[in-house]
Amino acid sequence: MTESSEEPIAYGHEDATHRALGGVEGIRRLVELFYEEMDTLPEAKRIRDLHPSNLEMSIDKLACFLSGWTGGPKLYSEKYGSIKIPIFHQHLPVEEAERDAWMLCMEGALARMDYASELQSYMMRELYVPADRIRVVVANHRAGRVEGKNAGAIQIKAR
């Protein structure tokens, strides 16, 4: 089949994204590159410094998380338990610059993989959602606002 006659991949449907990323192996490689970018980009120095000097555990945790998040095996919960991404990060200094630095590392890593440009932009769009959510939850946390029980996933308790 030629490229043009193929149906567009329905990213986000079942495990389509996971498969397009190359499964667990591909995601692990992506995350290794992500942390390589973080280790080298001057814009990412501040967020790099928030991580431990040895990134092995950070790589494993993010790779496990992204496996389940993209519709594949839920490796993070199997290995490390449950996590609410925004709440987990709420004590960290994450503002626009840190969110953008994180996204920049991901953009660089995606570009270094052999992925279709549609997959790269899909991942950037989708990952922006939790990345920006972290920024909002951090700001609320700093302002002393308490998150509702669903805050990790969706919204903030109105006060």
**Which residues are near ligand HEM by CB under 6 A?**
47, 50-52, 57-58, 61-62, 65, 80, 83, 85, 88-89, 92, 94, 98-99, 102, 127, 130-131, 134
Q: Rounded distance, CA 31 to CA 14, Å?
A: 21
Considering the complex, what minimum distance in angstroms separates the CB of residue 127 from ligand HEM?
5
Nearer to ligand HEM, 7 or 57 (CB): 57
Q: Rounded distance, CA 153 to CA 133, Å?
A: 9
**Cα Rg, the chain, nearest whole Å:** 16
Considering the complex, what minimum distance in angstroms separates the CB of residue 62 from ligand HEM?
5
Nearer to ligand HEM, 4 or 53 (CB): 53
Please give the sequence-ordered ranges of beta strands (E in DSSP) within 10-152, or none if there are none.
Answer: none
Q: Rounded distance, CA 99 to CA 136, Å?
A: 10
Nearer to ligand HEM, 50 or 146 (CB): 50
DSSP percent split of the chain into helix, strand, coil, nearest 5: 65, 0, 35
The answer to whether residues 101 and 35 touch, using CB atoms and an 8 Å cutoff, is no
Angle CA 80–82–84, to nearest 5: 120
Considering the complex, what minimum distance in angstroms separates the CB of residue 22 from ligand HEM?
18
Nearer to ligand HEM, 88 or 125 (CB): 88
Considering the complex, what minimum distance in angstroms separates the CB of residue 3 from ligand HEM?
30
Nearer to ligand HEM, 3 or 63 (CB): 63
Considering the complex, what minimum distance in angstroms separates the CB of residue 34 from ligand HEM?
10
